[in-house]
């Protein structure tokens, strides 16, 4: 009996040993990209992430990203796009993206990759980009590993940033621009819902904002034609007004009580009132250098103590004048900010935000087209991105307040569930509200 039991145990060990020795590693899974393949895409001899790739220097990597001359002119436009996406990683790895992506796009290595340069001179580039983008299926990202999702994110970001190239923007009609914005909003929401580690969407809000800027540009320029009362001086950001009130010299603490004399107040133009409120030294000194996002209430409280504010609120044309003044504020002058002092730059940021806050006064806002106000705020916000500055956070917060004042239910429901908005959320809700 013992011999039989011992023999059985030995047999089990032998079988287990044989099983261990014969066990083969599981087959490697096919890589998942989620990017639609194109029949004539170019297969690079050295691919990103390979051992050969990792030993190359930066200039050698750039050479490895180029299409051969013979392929460059014969490959289809979709093939150009797909081939570029295979090496898009280099443009992200060898650039400093601490600044805004719109400015970064103009100086990055994409301008040295011949597949992009060829794409930008093809007549069907925008149509091909639209077709290719619409064919992307995000449902496959669940089959990816973290590294694959990271690489997919880089390629996706490189793809959508192509829509910010001026040649592509100029070739898109209004319907196509709206279609791209809808597609970006859908994808942003989808990526957020999937919540997969390694899957990122850092640039959709910038891309859709820039596209919306082009859509709003002609519309707003037509609505807010130049006003003779506004004096736009070269190099200055804030429009001047001939009859603005000049505050007299006095000790700083006396400014708190200073009011514009009644005889001047009665005859000053509405634009003059706006500029006089913006120049009020106490407001600038009290809030200068602080976070305006947390000071809307404080600004309004200080603003309302001034007789220029009370006069402005009681004028029926105040809303239209504020919108016109806000639109006329020059953002392009920020390109010369290197010559500005810290105080001058921050004073301008304060004044820009203050005009937006003035429009939240109930008596003024009640007489305004809220969609037009949000459109103007979004337009000015994107202008700052385009010249390479961070967007104005106060504009986003004012947009939120105005949409809530208009009882915009999608935003109310979202805030009831999540409470907090991120920058893309502000932009997406503003776009939907405008439409």
Q: Is the dihedral of CA 232, 234, 238, 241 positive or negative?
A: negative
Segment 53-82 mean pLDDT: 90
- 434 contacts: CB under 8 Å, gap ≥ 6: 212, 216, 371, 374, 375, 378
pLDDT of residue 309: 87
- 229 contacts: CB under 8 Å, gap ≥ 6: 241, 242, 269, 271, 272
Residue pLDDT, tens place only, 29-56: 556 778 999 999 999 998 887 888 888 8
- 406 contacts: CB under 8 Å, gap ≥ 6: 370, 433
> Measured between alpha carbons, how far is 342 from 344 in angstroms, rounded to an integer?
6
For residue 276, CA distances in Å to 97, 259, 281, 377 come to 39, 11, 10, 21
Nearest CA to 76 out of 33, 134, 127 is that of: 127
The pTM assigned to this predicted structure is: 0.83
CB of 247 closer than 8 Å to CB of 261: no
Structure confidence at residue 289 as a pLDDT band (50, 70, 90): very low
Segment 111-139 mean pLDDT: 92
- 349 contacts: CB under 8 Å, gap ≥ 6: 292, 392
Q: Which residues pair with 109 in a beta bridge?
A: none
Residue pLDDT, tens place only, 211-239: 999 999 888 888 887 677 888 877 778 89
* Size (the chain), residues: 435
CB of 301 closer than 8 Å to CB of 358: no
> Measured between alpha carbons, how far is 199 from 334 in angstroms, rounded to an integer?
35
What percent of the chain is predicted at pLDDT more than 90? Answer: 45
> Measured between alpha carbons, how far is 138 from 193 in angstroms, rounded to an integer?
11
> Measured between alpha carbons, how far is 285 from 249 in angstroms, rounded to an integer?
15
Nearest CA to 303 out of 289, 319, 284 is that of: 284
Residue pLDDT, tens place only, 294-348: 556 666 676 777 888 889 999 999 999 999 999 999 887 777 677 777 777 777 8
């Amino acid at each position: 009996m013992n011999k039989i039991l011992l023999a059985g145990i030995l047999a089990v060990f032998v079988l287990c040993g044989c099983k261990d020795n014969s066990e083969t590693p599981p087959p490697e899974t096919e890589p998942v990209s989620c990017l639609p393949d194109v029949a004539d895409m170019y297969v690079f001899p050295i691919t990103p992430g390979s051992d050969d790739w990792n030993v190359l220097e930066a200039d050698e990597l750039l050479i490895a990203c180029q299409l051969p001359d013979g392929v460059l002119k014969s490959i289809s436009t979709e093939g150009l796009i797909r081939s570029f996406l295979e090496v898009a990683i280099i443009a992200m790895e060898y650039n400093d993206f601490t600044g805004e992506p719109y400015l970064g796009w103009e100086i990055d290595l994409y301008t040295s990759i011949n597949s992009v340069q060829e794409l930008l001179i093809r007549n069907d580039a925008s149509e091909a980009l639209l077709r290719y983008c619409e064919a992307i299926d995000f449902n496959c990202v669940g089959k990816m590993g973290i590294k694959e999702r990271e690489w997919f994110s880089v390629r996706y970001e490189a793809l959508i940033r192509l829509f910010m190239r001026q040649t592509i923007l100029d070739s898109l009609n209004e319907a196509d621009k709206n279609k791209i914005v809808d597609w970006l909003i859908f994808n942003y929401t989808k990526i957020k819902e999937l919540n997969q580690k390694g899957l990122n969407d850092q640039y959709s809000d910038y891309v859709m904002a820039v596209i919306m800027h082009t859509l709003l540009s002609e519309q707003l320029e037509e609505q807010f034609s130049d006003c003779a009362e506004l004096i736009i001086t070269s190099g200055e950001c804030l429009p001047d007004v001939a009859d603005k009130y000049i505050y007299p010299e006095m000790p700083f603490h006396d400014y708190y009580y200073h009011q514009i004399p009644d005889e001047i107040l009665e005859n000053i133009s509405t634009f003059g009132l706006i500029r006089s409120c913006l120049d009020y030294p106490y407001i600038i000194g009290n809030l200068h250098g602080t976070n305006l996002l947390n000071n809307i209430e404080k600004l309004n409280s200080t603003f309302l103590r001034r007789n220029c504010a009370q006069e402005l609120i009681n004028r029926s044309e105040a809303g239209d004048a504020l919108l016109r003044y806000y639109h006329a504020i020059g953002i392009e002058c920020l390109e010369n900010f290197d010559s500005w002092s810290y105080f001058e730059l921050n004073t301008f940021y304060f004044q820009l935000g203050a005009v937006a806050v003035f429009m939240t006064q109930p008596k003024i806002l009640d007489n305004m087209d809220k969609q037009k106000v949000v459109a103007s705020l979004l337009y000015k916000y994107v202008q700052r991105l385009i010249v390479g500055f961070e967007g104005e956070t106060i504009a986003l917060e004012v947009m939120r307040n105005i949409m809530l004042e208009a009882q915009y239910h999608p935003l109310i429901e979202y805030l009831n569930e999540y409470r907090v908005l991120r920058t893309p959320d502000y932009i997406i809700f503003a776009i939907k509200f405008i439409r």
